[in-house]
Amino acid sequence: MARDMSDKEILKMELDQLKKEVSTPRTPVAANCADTISFVEGLMPNDPLIKGVPDEKNPYKGDKGGCVVT
């Protein structure tokens, strides 16, 4: 797409994007971190990466055979 555009058109598109980014509301990092931490801690009890997956529900666990390389 950019190959079909002139330099002026590309610069105008970049300027429009920068105008959108400048008007985006900003919040302090500390406030966002607190929100993120509470969100993650709220989901921790159901997170399979933290809690683990029961053996009966884990498709990769068990003796279903293996790979034999000869």
Would you kindly state where each structural domain of the chain is located, as residue ranges?
A: 2-42
Q: What's the confidence (pLDDT) of residue 56?
A: 83
pTM here is 0.42
pLDDT score, position 52? 85
pLDDT computed for residue 4 by the predictor: 83
- Do the beta carbons of residue 51 and residue 45 sit within 8 Å? yes
From first to last of its 70 residues, what are the pLDDT tens digits of the chain?
Answer: 567 889 999 999 999 999 999 999 988 898 899 999 999 999 999 888 888 888 888 877 766 666 778 7
